[in-house]
Amino acid sequence: MLGDQLDPSGPAFRGHRPGEARVLMVESEFALRRLPYNRERRVLVIGAMRRMAESLRARGWMVDLRQAPTLADGVRGHVADHAPEGIVVAHPTSRSGLALVRRLQRDLPVRIDVRDAVGFITRPGELGEILGRRQPRMDTFYREMRRRLDMLVGPDGKPVGGAWSMDTENRRPPPRTRDLGAPAPWLPAADDPIDRALRDEFAGLPETGSGGERVMAATPEQAEAALDRFIDARLAGFGPHQDAMMDDDWAMSHALISGPMNLGMLSPLHVARRVADALGDGAPLASVEGFVRQVIGWREYVWGWYWRRPWRQANALDATAPVPAALMGAPTRMRCVQVAMEGIDQRGYSHHIQRLMVLGTLMLMRGTQPWSATRWFWAAHVDASAWVMAPNVVGMALFADGGDMMTKPYAASGAYIKRMSNHCKSCAYDPRLATGPRACPFTTLYWDFLDRHRERLGQNPRMSLSMRNLDRRDDLPDIRAHARTVMDDLDGGTA
């Protein structure tokens, strides 16, 4: 049972009963130390593994939970100690995990069977099969998924409500109140003794974040409670404000379930069906559709893309800059970045629009080297893993795949953040200004980014309006000069 396959009814368990087979789990020292992870990430992942081991033992399973320098060492140690007749494992979620299993299949004197992956609706490679010769676009994939799963589809094969996407209803700016006013999410007990012990245990490892708040479920039961709470109290508000950001509301109406889903403790199909069923209980269609799209659409699309191409070397925009200093602990006057970084520091969590339109967009327009950005996101967030990081960061946020995944880059000026948040009101910068000491770094970099990549992006029909607006600017020389200052400030920690 790998650390992200924490499903005791998963494919590797099929055909086995407690008392007849032993469950091997390995806490790999290498994996623990690979990056300076956010403190809450180790608390979540290792905490979930240990709780699962206990729960399996309580149900009569023999469990070999071992600590080893690497995963391979752990498997070898298990084989040496227990001489199993065979090993069964669910399909790893990363290329390196799969390569390791293949190596062990060759090297070990025991048969290793690889079964389906845990935590996904589609198989690796199935994205291509579903789309056939069509352009791989999320909307097309999502429609096919709705049809295949018969989810929010009427008997006539048409989408319930008449449209496949309710996105136009789901892009409202935040209210004028201090926070969104959504009912609180499910959260674990603040003084959970296992969490406290884990924070102490890993205190010596290189880590980021001051930690202290686990916000994601660490057992299947907790995950179900988080889902219940979301559907009962928060789903209705999810749709309209799913793209909004507020100074005093770190969770908005988000579900906080990516962690347990990515650890294999909460099935995405189960999540999507429960949310779709909530329509019958009166949940608004725009929220239900918006959420179902995230899970059977975006999440599966990203998973499919992970297996479709290599990511590590992708750098279509020739980006070479370091991760902005404000993301590495330097103070910043950019309010939107401050708020996202506070969430990461405390909880290892930022919500989707903060990841995409604040942190991602900043790195895109600064020209941050894509793999450095990927490693940063990975270390910063508790719900990260290889399959989800690479396409989201390299493809979606940084457009470093040259547009394989998305039709255009998510570049945006401060005007977008001003519209979709209340951050700009209390910011030292002015989102309307592209030059001068109070110019918003997003606005300056937006125009400079379009200008820098004019040749490449000018050929993209979806960028033509932006390019026409760029051509209308008569202050481009000033913007270019100010952009150099902004970049120096971002690199030097004075932005």
- Looking at the Cβ atoms of 248 and 318, the one nearer to ligand SF4 is 248
Gap between the terminal Cα atoms of the chain: 45
- Looking at the Cβ atoms of 28 and 392, the one nearer to ligand FAD is 392
- The yes or no reply on residue 379 touching ligand FAD (CB under 6 A) is no
- Residues 6 or more apart whose Cβ sits within 8 Å of residue 21: 61, 62
Which one of ligand FAD, ligand SF4, none is in contact with 389 (Cβ closer than 5 to 8 A by kind)?
ligand FAD
Residue type, 257: I
Residue 448 token pair = 């400079």
Q: Among all chains, which residue has been given the structure tokens 């905490």?
A: 47
**Residue 237: exposed, middle, or buried by beta-carbon count in 10 A (0-12, 13-18, 19+)?**
middle
Q: How far is the CB of 358 from ligand SF4 (least distance, A)?
A: 7
Give the C-alpha separation, 247 to 151, whole Å: 35
Site stretch for ligand FAD (CB under 6 A), options 59-67, 332-340, 355-363, 453-461? 355-363
Instruction: Restricting to residues 18-37, name those near ligand FAD by CB under 6 A.
Output: none
Residue 288 token pair = 């239900």
Q: Among all chains, which residue has been given the structure tokens 């399959």?
A: 387
- The CA-atom distances, in angstroms, between 27 and each of 7, 31, 71, 161, 179 are 17, 8, 7, 47, 40
- Residues 6 or more apart whose Cβ sits within 8 Å of residue 451: 470, 476, 479, 480
- The yes or no reply on residue 363 touching ligand SF4 (CB under 6 A) is no
Give the C-alpha separation, 439 to 328, whole Å: 22
- The yes or no reply on residue 229 touching ligand SF4 (CB under 6 A) is no
Q: How far is the CB of 402 from ligand FAD (least distance, A)?
A: 17
- Looking at the Cβ atoms of 1 and 336, the one nearer to ligand SF4 is 336
Return the percent helix, strand and coil in the chain, to nearest 5: 50, 10, 40
Instruction: Restricting to residues 336-355, name those near ligand SF4 by CB under 6 A.
Output: 336
Q: How far is the CB of 437 from ligand FAD (least distance, A)?
A: 30
Of 73, 298, 315, 321, which one interacts with ligand FAD (CB under 6 A)?
298
Which one of ligand SF4, ligand FAD, none is in contact with 255 (Cβ closer than 5 to 8 A by kind)?
ligand FAD
Q: How far is the CB of 491 from ligand SF4 (least distance, A)?
A: 16
Instruction: Restricting to residues 259-278, name those near ligand FAD by CB under 6 A.
Output: 261-262
- The yes or no reply on residue 424 touching ligand SF4 (CB under 6 A) is yes
Give the C-alpha separation, 195 to 203, whole Å: 12
SS3 12: helix
Residue 108 token pair = 């070990």
- The yes or no reply on residue 358 touching ligand FAD (CB under 6 A) is no
Which one of ligand FAD, ligand SF4, none is in contact with 26 (Cβ closer than 5 to 8 A by kind)?
none
Q: How far is the CB of 475 from ligand SF4 (least distance, A)?
A: 18
Give the C-alpha separation, 151 to 144, whole Å: 10
Site stretch for ligand FAD (CB under 6 A), options 124-132, 136-144, 290-298, 364-372? 290-298
- The yes or no reply on residue 52 touching ligand FAD (CB under 6 A) is no
Residue 375 token pair = 């490693």
What is the Rg, in whole angstroms, of the alpha carbon atoms belonging to the chain?
Answer: 23
Q: Which of 98, 97, 64 is nearest to 80 (CA)?
A: 64
Of 41, 146, 214, 254, which one interacts with ligand FAD (CB under 6 A)?
254
- The yes or no reply on residue 396 touching ligand FAD (CB under 6 A) is yes
Site stretch for ligand FAD (CB under 6 A), options 60-68, 109-117, 379-387, 484-492? 379-387
Q: State the CB neighbour count (10 A cutoff) for residue 109.
A: 6
Of 71, 127, 295, 334, which one interacts with ligand FAD (CB under 6 A)?
295
425 to 464: interface string for ligand SF4, x by CB under 6 A: --x-x-x--------xxx----------------------
- Looking at the Cβ atoms of 35 and 433, the one nearer to ligand SF4 is 433
Q: How far is the CB of 83 from ligand FAD (least distance, A)?
A: 38
Of 383, 401, 448, 489, which one interacts with ligand FAD (CB under 6 A)?
383
Which one of ligand FAD, ligand SF4, none is in contact with 423 (Cβ closer than 5 to 8 A by kind)?
ligand SF4
Q: How far is the CB of 441 from ligand SF4 (least distance, A)?
A: 6
- Looking at the Cβ atoms of 254 and 366, the one nearer to ligand FAD is 254
Q: How far is the CB of 302 from ligand FAD (least distance, A)?
A: 4
- The yes or no reply on residue 234 touching ligand FAD (CB under 6 A) is no
> How far, in whole angstroms, is CA 239 from its chain's centroid?
18
- The yes or no reply on residue 51 touching ligand FAD (CB under 6 A) is no
Residue 450 token pair = 């379009």
Q: What angle do CA 438, 440, 445 make, to 5 degrees?
A: 130
Give the C-alpha separation, 65 to 175, whole Å: 49
In sequence order, what DSSP letters do the residues of 100-168 get, joined into one string? HHHHHHHHSSSEEEEEPPSS-SSPTTHHHHHHTTS---HHHHHHHHHHHHT-SB-TTSSBTTS-S--GG
Q: By the 8 A CB rule, do 169 and 239 touch?
A: yes
- Looking at the Cβ atoms of 61 and 301, the one nearer to ligand FAD is 301
Residue 101 token pair = 């299993």
Interface residue list for ligand SF4 (CB under 6 A): 334-336, 414, 417-418, 423-424, 427, 429, 431, 440-442
> Residues interacting with ligand FAD, by CB under 6 A?
254-258, 261-262, 294-295, 298-299, 302, 351-352, 355-356, 360, 377, 381, 383-384, 388-389, 392-393, 396-397
